[in-house]
């Protein structure tokens, strides 16, 4: 039995598998930054030391073929690749070019479309890479936690030096008219000691395609800052509410995925993020050595938490999709704790992100350590949206 299956709560299985749609390739297992909150390097899982520094051509070819077989078996006409790390650009432009060339040659004449995105710290972006990405219709997302006084608290290099100045220089290039079409958006980890309005305004000024606000990858054993003594307090919910109010009061032209997801789900539409809602999770991770794993943020829970026990040389993706640990993330409310199943916002919260539910005493059979924050945010967004719609309806019918 794999590591996740041993600590997930309910022994259920789907009659049919859900094919994967998003394939996260860990194309580099090292990074040029040393962010203090990084789940890969600084939260307890040290298996990155065993990984090759970069995904080889032989692994990439095997992954691509496995994906092709998986898509054909399930009649999938399109899918998504995310190059991830570590820092995926650490191998240089030629490494990215090789990986994309392998994908394109594998799927040539297959009729199956795919999009390649890169999630990066942005520090190694270049004109050569930008030109290549434009040519191949790729996109790139950048991680930043806001203005320098916040971003440089945690996002530093291996000598402890700040990273914002170098990133802003690269963003100037990325946001130039030539390369703006490939700019997908920003990821921002919430720092409750920062000013949420100031952070939102800073990120919004880049006019990104989307903004992702992420909860720190803590859990019931390693409690988030501000919730050390009482998980019922809501500093993260309060931070997000302030950011939401700023977003809602403005033009709202830039999508904020956690906010949009909550609004969408209230009207029966699917969530935009894996961490909210009850829709089946259709994401899988391939490490640099070809190991197939569950969502890699599980590494924040304990050493080996993401391990499934499969690899692209010995196993196909249907085998992985049939695994009980994978399918338990596709069972909706049935796989959640009893507390979550009784909650009035469970259809939107979805129990919260899986890594946030962990406790050594009972695995993932818990609500998210951020459950009260999520409940407060969800109720606030519902109230604001309903009030706005009611006021607009009254104005047109008066």
pLDDT at 268: 87
pLDDT at 248: 94
Tokens of 28: 């580099």
Q: Quick count: other Cβ atoms within 10 Å of Cβ 178?
A: 13
Kindly tell me if the per-residue pLDDT of 1 is higher than 50.
no
The answer to whether residue 17 is domain-embedded is no
The answer to whether residue 372 is domain-embedded is yes
DSSP designation for 335: G
The answer to whether residue 10 is domain-embedded is no
The answer to whether residue 28 is domain-embedded is yes
The answer to whether residue 8 is domain-embedded is no
Percent of the chain with pLDDT over 70: 95
Using CA atoms, how far apart are residues 306 and 283, in angstroms rounded to an integer?
13
Query: Residue 388 — pLDDT band, cuts 50, 70, 90?
Result: confident
Q: Please work out, in degrees rounded to the nearest 5, the angle formed at the alpha carbon of residue 247 by the alpha carbons of 243 and 250.
A: 140
Kindly tell me if the per-residue pLDDT of 145 is higher than 90.
yes
pLDDT at 263: 93
* Chain Cα centroid distance, residue 190: 14
Query: Residue 267 — pLDDT band, cuts 50, 70, 90?
Result: confident
List CB contacts of 381: < 8 A, sequence separation 6 or more.
Answer: 244, 259, 262, 263, 266
Kindly tell me if the per-residue pLDDT of 280 is higher than 90.
no
Average pLDDT value for the chain: 93
Tokens of 13: 């299985």
Query: Residue 229 — pLDDT band, cuts 50, 70, 90?
Result: very high
User: What's the CATH number where 185 sits?
Assistant: 3.20.20.70
Kindly tell me if the per-residue pLDDT of 395 is higher than 80.
no
| Model pLDDT for residues 70-101, shown as the tens digit of each residue | 999 999 999 999 999 999 999 999 999 999 99
Query: Residue 325 — pLDDT band, cuts 50, 70, 90?
Result: confident
The answer to whether residue 12 is domain-embedded is no
Q: How many domains does the chain have?
A: 1
Range of the domain at 292: 22-385
Q: Are 70 and 284 in contact (CB under 8 A)?
A: no
Give the C-alpha distances (Å, rounded to integers) separating 25 from 184, 204, 325.
18, 28, 20
Kindly tell me if the per-residue pLDDT of 271 is higher than 50.
yes
The answer to whether residue 144 is domain-embedded is yes
| Model pLDDT for residues 235-264, shown as the tens digit of each residue | 999 999 999 999 999 866 789 999 999 999
| Model pLDDT for residues 327-384, shown as the tens digit of each residue | 888 777 888 999 999 999 999 999 999 999 999 999 999 999 999 999 999 999 999 9
DSSP designation for 362: T
The answer to whether residue 271 is domain-embedded is yes
What is the DSSP annotation of 189-241? E--TTS-HHHHHHHHHTT--SEEEEE--S--SSSPPTT-SS-TT--HHHHHHH
> b/e per residue, 103-138, with b = 16+ CB within 10 A?
beebbeeeebebebbbbbbbbbbeeebbebbeebeb
pLDDT at 322: 94
Tokens of 183: 């700019």
* Among the listed residues 340, 360, 361, the one whose alpha carbon sits nearest the alpha carbon of residue 351: 340
pLDDT at 15: 63
Kindly tell me if the per-residue pLDDT of 5 is higher than 60.
no
Q: Are 286 and 40 in contact (CB under 8 A)?
A: no
pLDDT at 10: 47
**48 versus 14: which is more confidently predicted?**
48
pLDDT at 331: 75
| Model pLDDT for residues 183-200, shown as the tens digit of each residue | 999 999 999 999 999 999
**Residue 123: HSE in the Cβ half-sphere, 13 Å Cα cutoff:** 18
Kindly tell me if the per-residue pLDDT of 393 is higher than 80.
no
């Amino acid at each position: 039995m794999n590591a996740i299956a041993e600590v997930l709560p309910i022994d259920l299985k789907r009659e049919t598998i859900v094919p994967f749609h998003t394939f996260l390739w860990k194309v580099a297992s090292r990074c040029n930054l040393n962010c203090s909150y990084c789940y890969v390097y600084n939260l307890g899982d040290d298996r990155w030391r065993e990984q090759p520094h970069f995904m080889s051509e032989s692994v990439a070819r095997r992954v691509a073929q496995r994906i092709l077989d998986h898509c054909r078996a399930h009649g999938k006409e399109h899918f998504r690749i995310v190059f991830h790390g570590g820092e995926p650009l650490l191998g240089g432009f030629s490494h990215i070019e090789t990986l994309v060339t392998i994908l394109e040659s594998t799927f040539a004449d297959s009729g199956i479309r795919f999009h390649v995105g890169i999630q990066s710290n942005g520090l190694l972006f270049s004109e050569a890479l930008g030109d290549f990405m434009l040519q191949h219709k790729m996109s790139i997302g950048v991680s930043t936690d806001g203005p320098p006084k916040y971003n440089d608290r945690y996002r530093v290099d291996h000598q402890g030096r700040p990273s914002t100045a170098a990133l802003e220089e690269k963003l100037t290039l990325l946001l130039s008219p030539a390369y703006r079409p490939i700019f997908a958006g920003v990821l921002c980890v919430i720092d409750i000691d920062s000013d949420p309005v100031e952070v939102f305004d800073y990120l919004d000024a880049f006019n990104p395609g989307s903004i992702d606000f992420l909860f720190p990858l803590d859990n019931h054993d390693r409690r988030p800052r501000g919730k050390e003594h009482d998980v019922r307090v809501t500093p993260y919910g309060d931070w997000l509410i302030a950011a939401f109010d700023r977003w809602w009061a403005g033009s709202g032209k830039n999508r904020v995925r956690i906010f949009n997801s909550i609004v969408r789900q209230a009207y029966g539409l699917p969530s935009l993020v894996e961490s909210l809602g009850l829709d089946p999770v259709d994401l899988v991770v391939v490490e640099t050595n070809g190991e197939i794993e569950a969502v890699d943020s599980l590494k924040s829970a304990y050493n080996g938490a993401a391990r499934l026990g499969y690899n692209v040389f010995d196993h196909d993706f249907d085998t992985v999709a049939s695994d009980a640990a994978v399918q338990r993330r596709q069972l909706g409310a049935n796989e959640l704790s009893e507390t979550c199943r009784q909650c009035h916002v469970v259809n939107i919260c979805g129990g919260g992100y899986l890594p946030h539910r962990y406790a050594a005493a009972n695995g993932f059979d818990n609500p998210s350590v951020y459950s009260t924050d999520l409940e407060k945010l969800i109720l606030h967004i519902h109230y604001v949206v309903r009030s706005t719609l009611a006021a607009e309806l009254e104005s047109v019918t008066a």
